[in-house]
Amino acid sequence: MSNRNNENKRPAAPQMSLRGGRRGSGPPGMHGMGMPVEKPKDFKGTFKKLLVYLKPRKARLILVFFLAILSTVFAILSPKIMGKAITRLYQGLMMKMQGVPGASIDFEYILQIILILAGLYLFSSLFSFLMQYLMASVAQNTVYEMRKDVKEKLTRLPLKFFDTHSHGDVLSRVTNDIDLISTTLQQSLAQVITAVVTLVGVVIMMLTISPLLTLVTILTLPFSIIAVKAIATSSQKYFAEQQKILGKLNGHIEEMYTGHREVKAFNREKESVMIFEEKNNILYEAGWKAQFISGIIMPIMISINNLGYVIICVVGGIFVTKRLIEIGDIQAFIQYSRQFAQPIRQTASIANLLQSTIAGAERVFEILQEEEEISDSDSHVIITEPKGKVTIEHVDFQYKPDIPLIADMNIEVKAGQSAAIVGPTGAGKTTLVNLFMRFYELQGGLISIDGVDIKSMQRGDLRNIFGMVLQDTWLFKGTIRENIAYGKEGATEDEIVAVAKAAHADHFIRTLPDGYDTVLNEEASNISQGQKQLLTIARAFLANPSILILDEATSSVDTRTELIIQKAMGALMKGRTNFIIAHRLSTIRDADIILVMNEGSIVEQGTHQGLIAANGFYADLYNSQFVGDDAV
């Protein structure tokens, strides 16, 4: 049983294209290298909301912070200590070369240094491991709670939300955006701490060796920043163009593959290939320029850094000859100077990634802040044995505040009657069904079942009264048995087979290789459209509803299958109140009452014969279809 409907009068859903890839995504390390970065609308506000999720894990985050400091400090101390070993080794060699009596290399001292270094590296790795382990726990627990909140929120959102948001948009927020938050928390947060501690520690260690060499190292930094900024600005427009044309190219490919039969039928293969090659060439040019220009960044930065190394080596060599510093200190300083630029690049990259992450979090929090459907009444009423009488009194409804759709509608359908709802596209037929099911709330008036206001009922209890068979069949990936059993929790094998027989589906099911164990794929394309419809009828039989809603279920099947479906639907309708949304008016001649809708109002109601005799709106609709069929 599916509660999904199509309604032409619903607000159009804003389209979000996923063709160009995940928003804010890109190859690792490309953020800050010319790649366009999506920025949040309210960085500060969204960051505070993210901190609310991190607050219960404050103790572990503090521990991560100290572990990151310890891991980095041990790593920073290593070059300085190694420099002492090199200095002692150099001194021993120089004394031996100068022929100093009894001169030798102090291997015992060097061994002690090596053991100290091994201990430092070991402790640094251990603390790093513990930091990553704790951070993984923090990240996964945080996004687990976030996913749980989003999932629970989605169950509380009204149908209006899903009608005004594309499925791709919602899916992207729930999966891609939360995954991006997870990745950033697990990797980037610890990297930020490490980068900051490394930068501060390296500068301090360099200052202890030589303030002048430290100044030389720092002076090379502005040149790198200026060069990177100039190149990044130039490449930004090419990356933006690349993403834009990639979306168009993917859209073209998607259209050609989903409509490949039509392309072949109209002999448009050459034109399709020509359009593809044109867009692909534009993508190649934009991509080549973007990658080439951004690829210049690293060589330029390396050249500037190497220039700094040359100056350090020259000046350091002079200092060693003048015995202002030791040779081991030069070796240590060169290592520190190499480490100096890395955290700066890393921090810039993480800063851009953080912008994209906060933008993703912002989209997730937008879902969490959506207006929820009205809560069920605490003192709810349960209709234990529903008869199926439906009364609509002075109902008003509108999707948009200033555009009324249904105004002062009054209908009464007695228990066991079949009421057909007809009218042109967009008249409000499916909207009326949505109001029955409380997918949307009334702006005014009253809908009651057996005299009970539906607002006084729990939504779950209300919807248990209804069954639906729609034109757009909905089956999930699973066995035929599981799809039929979806209509009733705890359905037995005998019940499943019985309703399949009642729906005229048992025969075709048994002709399949695996019978009731046949697995339907995601689109259920391994069975025909008519067979899908028979399974949905069987599912509705199993639910045994008091009120049945039928959308035109035979519009896309052959005549023979249509007769089978009509027989199944006829059996299903017996003893129930039925609402039939009719598109082909010839199928509802025997309805007890026909409700004729136009622009949200019931303009006529009565039997088929009576409405034809009245020669009004219904007669015009009926005759237009009849004359159209004759013309064909």
pLDDT score recorded for residue 83:
81
For residues 374 and 443, the answer to whether their CB atoms sit within 8 Å is no
- pLDDT surpassing 80 at residue 16: no
Mean pLDDT for the stretch of residues 297-322 = 80
With the CA atoms of 299, 300, 301 and 306 taken in that order, what torsion angle do they form, in degrees rounded to the nearest 10?
80
Q: How confident is the model at residue 538 (pLDDT cuts 50, 70, 90)?
A: confident
Q: How confident is the model at residue 494 (pLDDT cuts 50, 70, 90)?
A: very high
Q: Facing residues of 547 across strands?
A: 466, 577
Mean pLDDT for the stretch of residues 91-102 = 74
User: β-strand 547-551 against 406-413: which pairing, if any?
Assistant: unpaired
pLDDT score recorded for residue 68:
85
pLDDT, tens digit, 9 for 90 and up, residues 441-490: 888 889 999 988 888 888 888 888 888 887 777 888 889 999 999 888 88
Give the CATH class of 42-208+343-373.
Answer: mainly alpha
Q: How confident is the model at residue 425 (pLDDT cuts 50, 70, 90)?
A: confident
Mean pLDDT taken over the chain: 79
Mean pLDDT for the stretch of residues 56-71 = 88
- pLDDT surpassing 60 at residue 591: yes
What gap in Å lies between CA 2 and CA 469, rounded to an integer? 7
Using DSSP's 3-state secondary structure scheme, residue 519 falls into strand
pLDDT score recorded for residue 553:
60
For residues 469 and 550, the answer to whether their CB atoms sit within 8 Å is yes
Using DSSP's 3-state secondary structure scheme, residue 391 falls into strand
User: β-strand 418-422 against 593-598: which pairing, if any?
Assistant: parallel
Give CA separation, 253 vs 21, 199, 257, 266, in Å.
14, 47, 6, 17
Greater model confidence, 592 or 100 = 592
- pLDDT surpassing 80 at residue 33: no
Which residues, 6 or more positions from 589, have their beta carbon under 8 angstroms from its beta carbon? Answer: 608
- pLDDT surpassing 50 at residue 82: yes
Dump the DSSP string for 531-566: HHHHHHHHHHHHH--SEEEEE--STTS-HHHHHHHH
> 24-28, 44-48, 365-369 — which is least confidently predicted?
24-28
CA 542 from centre of chain: 34
pLDDT score recorded for residue 29:
41
Q: How confident is the model at residue 1 (pLDDT cuts 50, 70, 90)?
A: very low
User: Residue type for 496, please?
Assistant: I
> 91-100, 157-166, 305-314 — which is least confidently predicted?
91-100
Mean pLDDT for the stretch of residues 150-163 = 84
Q: What own/partner pairs with CB < 8 Å and gap ≥ 24 does 365-370 have?
A: 365/46, 365/49, 366/173, 367/150, 367/153, 367/154, 367/170, 367/173, 367/174, 368/149, 368/150, 368/153, 370/153, 370/157, 370/161
What gap in Å lies between CA 101 and CA 120, rounded to an integer? 36
Report residue 207 as tokens: 């200052």
Question: For residue 234, which of 279, 292, 155, 307 has the smallest C-alpha distance?
Answer: 292
pLDDT score recorded for residue 31:
44
Mean pLDDT for the stretch of residues 507-532 = 84
For residues 505 and 527, the answer to whether their CB atoms sit within 8 Å is no
Mean pLDDT for the stretch of residues 328-352 = 78
Mean pLDDT for the stretch of residues 588-604 = 83
pLDDT score recorded for residue 482:
92
pLDDT score recorded for residue 4:
38
Mean pLDDT for the stretch of residues 223-232 = 73
- pLDDT surpassing 70 at residue 14: no
Query: Residue 456 has what DSSP assignment?
Result: G
Mean pLDDT for the stretch of residues 510-539 = 84
What gap in Å lies between CA 10 and CA 16, rounded to an integer? 18
Compute the chain's Rg from CA coordinates: 36
For residues 537 and 469, the answer to whether their CB atoms sit within 8 Å is yes
pLDDT score recorded for residue 554:
59
What gap in Å lies between CA 224 and CA 302, rounded to an integer? 9
- pLDDT surpassing 70 at residue 161: yes
In this structure, how many other beta carbons lie within 10 angstroms of the beta carbon of residue 537? 29
Report residue 29 as tokens: 């390390």
pLDDT score recorded for residue 379:
64
For the chain, the structural domain boundaries read 42-208+343-373, 211-324, 390-631
User: Residue type for 575, please?
Assistant: G
What gap in Å lies between CA 68 and CA 530, rounded to an integer? 63
Greater model confidence, 112 or 600 = 112
pLDDT, tens digit, 9 for 90 and up, residues 373-411: 777 766 678 888 888 899 988 888 887 777 777 878 888
pLDDT, tens digit, 9 for 90 and up, residues 228-267: 777 767 776 777 777 778 778 887 887 887 777 778 877 8
pLDDT score recorded for residue 493:
92
Side-chain-side CA neighbours of residue 191 (13 Å): 18
Mean pLDDT for the stretch of residues 66-83 = 85
Greater model confidence, 430 or 292 = 292
Mean pLDDT for the stretch of residues 155-174 = 79
User: Per CATH, which fold does 390-631 belong to?
Assistant: Rossmann fold (3.40.50)
Mean pLDDT for the stretch of residues 45-65 = 87
